[in-house]
A and B are shown apart, each in its own frame.
Chain A
Amino acid sequence: MTLLASTGCVASRQEPGQATAAVADALAEAGSAGETARIAVGLLDEGRVTGPVADTVLLDQLRVLDDAESALTTLVPPDAATAARRTTGLDAVGDVSDAVVAARSWVAVRSGGDLAPGAAEDTGVPASADDLLADLATALDAADAALAEAGGP
């Protein structure tokens, strides 16, 4: 135990290829979550899903995004190129998360959730589904670009 405690490594070394694949996996998860959110928002706007279903879908996707972000933050990049990809990836996942968080607030407003008066405007909830879908599309484009950079499909 003493030997382990005094000589143990800080982090296991990953090959650049493995680390890049981990970044790509996290971005693919984020892309999947963003696309799911896009479909849910579109369906709610068309009146094809109920508020609780849309809210549950978005909540589930926030958990997926949390996992993706955690995978990236706990990754120790083996070289500068991977570090740059990780940074780009973290930004992209963050953007998708922001858009999904905003979508959840929009769903709450749309479904008559008990937000405080003016809360929607103060917290920057998009005024319409079109604005929200545009935000999601922008975030997804960034995630796709970061995924392509990381060698994803």
Chain B
Amino acid sequence: MKKLLAAALGILTAIGGFVDIGDLVTNAVVGSRFGMSLAWVVVLGVVGIVLFASMSGRVAAVSGRATFEIVRERLGPRAAGANLLASFAINLLTLTAEVGGIALALHLASSVEPRLWIPVAALAVWLVLWRVKFQVLENVAGLMGLLLVGFAIALFQLGPDWGELLRQAVPPSPPGTEHPASYWYYAVALFGAAMTPYEVFFFSSGAVEERWTAKDLGTNRVNVLLGFPLGGLLSLSIAACAAVVLLPAGIEVSSLSQIVLPVAQAGGVLLLAVVILGIVAATFGAALETALSSGYTLAQYLGWSWGKFRRPARAARFHLTMIVALLLAVGILMTSVDPVAVTEMSVVFSAVALPLTYVPILVVANDPEYMGEHVNGRVVNALGTVYLVIVVVAAVAAIPLMIATGAGS
């Protein structure tokens, strides 16, 4: 019974933890402009993150070491260094977007200027990182993020024409009013949002924090196979809400406040309050995960002592890295840069950095020295190879598409 409860908790946490500010904004923008015609990208991204998160979880459970530690040992300091630079930069950008997302959600609830909320949000993130145990932090943020299920409830209450939504999704093609280049730009952005690198770093390091062993491989598989796809359904609900209410009105999403309008229309103040709380929780949880990922990647590369299971004094440089990353995020946001624009940039640059994150995981997961009998099977390797091709195509296309479309405008 206790095991079953733990598994349920893991699944719920994975669902709630899947959606972050990048998913929220990108799905709503896409829904308001392209309807459901990019739903296939969410499906593609979910399968990809399931594949690689389960692979990195397996590496951590079998070897007892986080992916980044092994990447350096296996690929050498130079290749791992390039990986570190790209991952750390993208992670910082994502952390900035998440802290900005918390401030925007609090602005929405209070109408108090977001710049006043930014330092408050960052301080709260730091306090939780400093004081709260890993399991509590992970589970509370994930479970609160589940409140975003309000988007799915709103979608049913809106009573959409399901046939029309399906027609938009299948066969996938850009609407006549949009340029194909913009369609593909947002396809890459959605893919980057679903497969953000920090999710894998956090997942594999979290497995070490929770002291997983080979016995926990079943838990790993269930969490990933159920949690992430159900989280993907939340992403699709956000896009569908925008497609039902905002697209017909000719509204193009450019702010977080527009994303919640379909929810208010469907469920009134109560559902709106639930969803705003869900947005705060989802962005707060993602800010915790990205801040931790900053510490994990740098500490694991440089061989520092790391982990929430150690007291801060025993992992001082790990904690200092997170503090510096948070301060940098606050500094960037206090320049009055639009957090939504930062989010859009972060998901596109995530797509650029995807090969650097996912190629090493595939290499390590195939190394019998680390994995023993738990190396990838043929099917997983075939899927992994297909995904590497997709990831490389997305990474190569991201910047040219961004330039050609003026960042999708």
Contact = CB atoms under 8 A, between A and B. Distances in A.
Interface of A: 25, 28-29, 31-32, 35-36, 38-40, 43, 47-53, 55-57, 59-61, 63-64, 153
A contact patch SS: helix
Given A43-B264, A49-B264, A53-B257, A35 B250 contact: yes
A38 B177 CA distance: 23
B255 interface: yes
Given A35-B250, A39-B261, A64-B254, A56 B269 contact: no
B252 interface: yes
A53 B263 CA distance: 12
Contact of B108 (A31, A32, A38, A56): A56
A18 B258 CA distance: 29
B272 A52 contact: no
A12 B362 CA distance: 50
A81 B409 CA distance: 25
Given A49-B272, A55-B111, 19 more contacts: A31-B250, A32-B251, A35-B250, A36-B249, A39-B265, A43-B265, A47-B268, A48-B268, A48-B269, A50-B272, A51-B111, A52-B108, A52-B110, A53-B272, A56-B108, A56-B257, A59-B111, A60-B254, A60-B258
A52 B108 CA distance: 7
Contacts, number: 71
B254 A49 contact: no
Contacts of B110: 52
Nearest to B109: A52
Minimum-distance CB pairs A-B, first 9:
A52-B111, A60-B255, A57-B257, A48-B268, A35-B249, A49-B264, A55-B111, A32-B252, A56-B257
B254 A43 contact: no
15 contacts: A28-B250, A31-B250, A32-B250, A32-B252, A35-B249, A43-B265, A49-B269, A49-B272, A52-B111, A53-B257, A53-B260, A53-B276, A57-B258, A61-B255, A64-B254
Contacts of B264: 43, 48-49, 53
B317 interface: no
Q: How large is the interface on B (under 10, 10 to 19, 20 to 34, 35 or more residues)?
A: 20 to 34
B259 to A, nearest CB: 10
A57 B276 CA distance: 14
Nearest to A40: B261
Nearest to A43: B264
B107 interface: yes
B contact patch SS: helix
Interface string B263-275: 0110011001000
A39 to B, nearest CB: 5
A57 B108 CA distance: 8
A3 to B, nearest CB: 29
A52 B363 CA distance: 51
B243 to A, nearest CB: 15
Contacts of B252: 28-29, 32
Interface centre among A35, A40, A49, A53 (most CB of B within 10 A): A53
Nearest to B273: A50
Contacts of B251: 32, 35-36, 39
Contacts of B245: 39
B245 to A, nearest CB: 8
Nearest to B248: A35
A88 to B, nearest CB: 19
Interface centre among B108, B245, B250, B268 (most CB of A within 10 A): B250
Nearest to B262: A39
Nearest to A42: B265
A39 B249 contact: yes
A59 B104 CA distance: 12
A153 B247 CA distance: 13
B261 A57 contact: yes
Nearest to A50: B269
A13 B254 CA distance: 29
A39 B261 CA distance: 8
B155 to A, nearest CB: 16
A50 B260 CA distance: 12
Interface in B213-272: 245, 249-252, 254-255, 257-258, 260-261, 264-265, 268-269, 272
